[in-house]
Every structure is written in structure tokens, then in C-alpha cells.
């Protein structure tokens, strides 16, 4: 039995996790879920592929329930402790001491106590992992805690390097590598040809290449394509990769002119409109969204020309935080008319942005 611990957007992370499990054939059977984690049974392959999740933090192997389960934890010379659902320093020390007493029979043991955190973040863990084991308590309302051990983490250092290690960076325009990874999983397509038709400096295309997919990208702006090429050359060298991407200057409304083949999946954050100076009123938001739809309609017509039947699209539309509170998310019936079925919709929001991402997962019925 495992638990997965979700990141800062748990609803999106959960959707990604289910898509990821189908994508890699992991046979996940959910048992219980809370807002922040999911308890499940699955194939052990989940440990091998966990690294490829964007929105999750830790994979925890569950050994039992309640404080008594401490006796089932495997001896380790060095360990630390993570509590989720309780911020109680005394409880943290008490459980740590209990584990230490239990381990005494096995040999010497050292309990690392980080300052001011009750749960070890992956950044700290990776410094000593896996020699330093991270024992985890997931507390539940009115029930005993689940007890386990972290067996995998997603690597925040790698994700950061993919962002700020690149020769060309555009912090406002580009998408976070974690989200690019999440969007690739949402396609549920394991192998094949992937296209980002609004590739900018190439964050999503980087992810295609890292995952060994047939990677294609285009942008209407030649400057962006040059930047993406530089970033991809850096990526190949830094990660010792043999494969690369095909990059073209192309208008996303005319994809058939630039690409002869058909794609299994399109993953993209497209043009989202002019930057907003303030949160709009509801009427203004409706007007912005309608204006942009005049652009998105021919974009999706063009997608239909280059997608395989049942091909997937993961597309970021803008949603708007309103001046009067709430968020405006437009319904787009025309997607159905063009042959695209909406399989799921998830929002994502970054503090520094006014726009909310309205991520659509679509299937092209052809």
C-alpha cells in the first residue's frame, strides 16, 4: 500500500496522478483520499516512474496504522520524521523518541530534527536520502494515523535547473517546468509524436525531449524559436541526451503547412491575451474571452488538421480573477462542434499572475 503526497495544487495533482497511472499502466486502485494525499494499491512500477510526476511531492510506502506501527518500520542509522495533518512540536518529538527507542536493538541511530518544520521538504531530504530515512505520519480526522516511509520524491533541484539553469529565460512568459510535466501526463499518451505549437522558449518541448518523446515545436516568432533552440542545445548537453526536437517558425493557425505528419498529442500554453493591469469586471472578462475565442477557433481548426484520431490536447485557456471576487471561466461549446471532447478541466493559479490558467484536457474524435 502506498500514499502519494500532493503539491500546492492538490486537485490538479490528483488528476495528474490518475492520468499518470493510466499512462504508465500502474494499475492504481484508490483506497482513501484526503485533500492532500491519496492512499492506494498499485503495481510496484509506481516507484520506478514516480520521478515523472510534476505535481506530487512524495511517494510513501505505508507499513501500518497508529503509533503501534512504529515497530514495523525498518531500522535505519539515520532518520527524520514528517507529520502531515498535525503541527505539534511535542508530538513530533514524542514520535521521534519512540522510533529511536524501537531502533536501539538494531544498533546506533540518529534522529535529525530540522528547525521549524514538521514535514521534511524534498529539498532537505535529498541531501541525505536514501541513507537518511524519512518516516511519515499522515493524520486523519477521528482515525488513527497512517504510518510509512518515503520511498521516492520528485526532484525540485532538477525542476529548478530546467527553469533557471537555461541560457534563455523569460520568467513572465514561460510556463513552470513542473506544470509542463503535469500537462504531458494529462495527455495519458505514453509514446509518440508530441507538438507544442506555441512553444516560446521551449519549456514544454524540453519536457518532451527529456521523456524521449518525438518532440516538435513551433512559434510564429523566429526570435522565440532561436531561443528555444539554444535552450534545447543546453538541455541535451546538461542531461546527456541523444534525441532532440524539430522546431519551426509557424503560425499555429496554419499547422498543416509546416508539418506533414499527424500528432498523438498537443500540449501547449498558447497566447493568453495582453497582460492585465488590474482584475477585470465580469463584463470585461467576458469581452476579453470572446475576443480571444476568435483567435482560438482557427487554432483548433488547425489542430484538427494535424492530430491523429483520438489524439489528445492539453491546452491552457485564460480564466479571469474578477474585481468583485470569484473567477470567470468561459464555456466553449464550439470545441464540440470542431470534434473536440472536453475530458477534464483544472485551474492553476500563480500568485505573481493576474490570469488563472484554465487547463483543458481534450480528445479529438476526428
Ligand X SMILES: C[S@@+](CC[C@H](N)C(=O)[O-])C[C@H]1O[C@@H](n2cnc3c(N)ncnc32)[C@H](O)[C@@H]1O
Q: Residues in the site for ligand X, rule: CB under 6 A?
A: 173-175, 197-201, 203-204, 219-221, 224, 251-253, 269, 271-272
What's the rounded Cα separation, in Å, for the pair 224 and 200? 5
What distances in angstroms separate CA 64 from CA 49, 71, 344, one per listed residue? 24, 9, 34
**Rounded distance, CA 304 to CA 289, Å?**
22
Task: Considering the complex, state which of residue 29 and residue 256 has its C-beta at the smaller distance from ligand X.
Answer: 256
Smallest gap from Cβ 5 to ligand X, in A, equals 26
**Please, what is the minimum distance in Å from the beta carbon of residue 135 to ligand X?**
38
Distance of CA 111 to the CA centre of its chain: 32
Short-list 360, 354, 347, CA closest to 321: 354
> Which C-beta is closer to ligand X: that of 81 or that of 205?
205
DSSP 8-state secondary structure symbol assigned to residue 176 = P
Residue 78 C-beta: closest distance to ligand X, Å? 39
> Is there a contact between 354 and 321 (Cβ–Cβ < 8 Å)?
yes
353 Cβ partners below 8 Å, 6+ apart? none
Shortest separation between residue 253's beta carbon and ligand X, angstroms: 6
- Closest CB to ligand X among residues 149, 269: 269
Query: Please, which residue, 174 or 185, has the CB nearer to ligand X?
Result: 174
- Is the Cβ of residue 86 or residue 160 nearer to ligand X in the bound state? 160
Which single residue brings its beta carbon nearest to ligand X?
Answer: 200
Cα(190)–Cα(4) distance, integer angstroms: 21
- Cβ contact 336:362 at 8 Å: no
Least Å distance between CB 362 and ligand X?
Answer: 18
Amino acid at each position: 500500500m502506498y500514499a502519494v503526497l500532493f503539491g500546492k495544487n492538490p486537485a490538479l495533482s490528483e488528476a495528474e496522478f490518475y492520468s499518470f497511472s493510466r499512462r504508465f499502466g500502474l494499475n492504481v486502485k484508490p483506497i482513501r483520499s484526503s485533500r492532500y494525499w491519496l492512499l492506494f494499491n498499485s503495481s510496484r512500477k509506481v516507484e520506478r516512474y514516480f520521478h515523472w510526476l510534476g505535481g506530487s511531492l512524495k511517494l510513501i510506502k505505508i507499513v501500518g496504522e497508529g503509533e503501534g506501527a512504529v515497530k514495523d518500520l525498518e531500522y535505519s542509522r539515520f532518520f527524520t520524521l514528517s507529520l502531515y495533518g498535525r503541527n505539534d512540536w511535542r508530538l513530533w518529538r514524542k514520535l521521534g523518541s519512540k522510533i529511536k527507542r524501537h531502533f536501539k536493538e538494531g544498533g546506533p541511530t540518529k534522529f535529525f530534527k530540522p528547525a521549524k518544520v514538521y514535514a521534511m521538504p524534498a529539498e532537505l531530504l535529498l541531501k541525505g536520502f536514501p541513507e537518511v530515512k524519512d518516516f511519515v505520519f499522515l493524520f486523519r480526522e477521528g482515525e488513527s494515523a497512517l504510518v510509512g516511509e518515503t520511498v521516492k520524491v520528485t526532484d525540485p533541484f532538477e525542476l529548478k535547473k530546467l527553469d533557471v539553469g537555461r541560457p534563455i529565460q523569460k520568467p513572465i512568459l514561460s510556463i513552470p517546468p513542473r506544470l509542463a510535466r503535469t500537462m504531458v501526463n494529462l495527455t495519458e499518451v505514453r509514446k509518440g509524436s508530441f507538438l507544442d505549437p506555441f512553444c516560446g522558449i521551449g519549456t514544454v518541448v524540453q519536457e518532451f525531449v527529456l521523456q524521449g518523446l518525438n518532440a516538435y515545436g513551433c512559434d510564429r516568432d523566429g526570435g522565440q524559436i532561436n531561443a528555444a533552440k539554444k535552450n534545447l542545445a543546453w538541455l541535451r548537453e546538461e542531461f546527456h541526451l541523444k534525441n532532440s526536437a524539430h522546431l519551426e517558425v509557424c503560425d499555429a493557425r496554419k499547422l498543416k503547412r509546416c508539418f506533414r505528419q499527424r500528432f498523438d498529442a498537443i500540449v501547449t500554453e498558447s497566447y493568453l491575451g495582453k497582460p492585465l493591469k488590474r482584475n477585470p469586471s465580469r463584463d470585461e472578462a467576458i469581452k476579453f474571452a470572446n475576443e480571444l475565442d476568435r483567435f482560438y477557433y482557427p487554432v483548433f481548426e488547425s489542430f484538427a488538421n494535424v492530430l491523429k484520431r483520438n489524439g489528445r490536447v492539453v491546452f491552457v485557456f485564460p480564466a479571469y480573477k474578477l474585481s468583485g471576487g470569484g473567477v470567470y471561466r468561459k464555456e466553449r461549446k464550439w470545441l464540440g462542434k470542431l470534434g473536440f471532447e472536453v475530458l477534464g478541466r483544472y485551474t492553476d493559479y500563480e500568485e505573481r499572475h493576474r490570469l488563472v490558467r484554465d487547463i483543458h484536457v481534450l480528445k479529438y474524435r476526428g
